[in-house]
Amino acid sequence: MIIVTGSTGFIGSNVLAALEAKGYKDLVVVDWLGVKDKWKNIAKRELAAVLPPEQLPEFLKQHEKEITAVIHMGAISTTTEKDVDLIVERNIQSTWDLWCFCRDFQKQFIYASSAATYGSGENGFEDRDDLDYLNSLRPLNPYGWSKAFIDRKIAREVAENRKTPKQYAGLKLFNVYGPNEYHKGEQESVVAHIFPSVRNNEEVKLFKSYHTDYKDGQQLRDFVWVGDVVRVIIWLLENPEVSGLFNVGSGSARSFYDLAKAAWDAMGLPPKIGYKKMPPELQDKYQYYTKASLDKLRKAGFTEPMTSLEDGVRLYVTEFLNKEDRYL
């Protein structure tokens, strides 16, 4: 039995689909569905159970012998969320509770960290897990801080030789895009956000730059296809001897202009790209450059190539966004 939290969300539902395709059984969904269309993210899956997070502690007690792994994707992932008490409850305490369960009963524990832990990147984007380095990072928002908090807490446990889960793997996820993110609204990837305009052959608007080193549209991100993220998670699940903190990105820094152009190219249309003002509340919390170092993941044994930006966007557009059924 495998528990997947946040499994009606974007990455979690992609993980469920991949697990099912690989033949895994007894998949347990832990998430809130709400009143919108998140249920469609799991509608094609055969599942053992669907339960809200508040029922998870009792479920863990009842099934502690059957559970083999917890894949923890559940979190408040909105980078603009201002309710820090809620972030502490959902992102810190819930993650630590699951760590303790996996530690006490020797289960595999794979959880989502974030590239937001790196802040503006002044200390690099190296997935080191020594405390001095982790303590030097300065996230730009409460979401990034909550992920950094867990990374540091786990690093302290390891450094002091305390008991750990059978496997523990934190994934510093970069800018992930792909199917089943449609419920995220303003937090959708740029590809999903601009696609309706692309399909209608209307100009898309990217944020202007407020940094002298970057022209409008030339802000750089490590955009990673969700299928690559999922392949890393499955690989970790099948290699329980591998533990640690790992970057998961494409390994390349590409511009938002490149991303938008790739969407136009996927539709066979010449690009129409303009620029708009960035909201004032984002201007001093904006990352202008991210790029994942994948050396640590490669040394751990993950050798599969990452999908290029052009190939990933083309796949997303042609196989999902431009189809009547957009769901995986």
**Residue 289 annotated among the catalytic residues of the structure:** no
Q: Of the listed 143, 168, 182, 316, which one is catalytic?
A: 143
Count, residues in the chain? 328
- Residue 264, burial from CB neighbour count under 10 angstroms (0-12, 13-18, 19+): buried
- Residue 154, burial from CB neighbour count under 10 angstroms (0-12, 13-18, 19+): buried
| Residues with Cβ within 8 Å of residue 196, at least 6 apart in sequence | none
Q: Of the listed 153, 184, 205, 272, which one is catalytic?
A: 184
Nearest in space to 184 (alpha carbons), one of 65, 3, 318, 38:
38
**Residue 288 annotated among the catalytic residues of the structure:** no
Return the beta strands (E) in the chain as ranges: 2-5, 27-30, 49-51, 69-72, 108-114, 167-173, 175-177, 204-207, 220-221, 223-225, 244-248, 254-255, 273-276
User: What are the catalytic residues?
Assistant: 143, 184
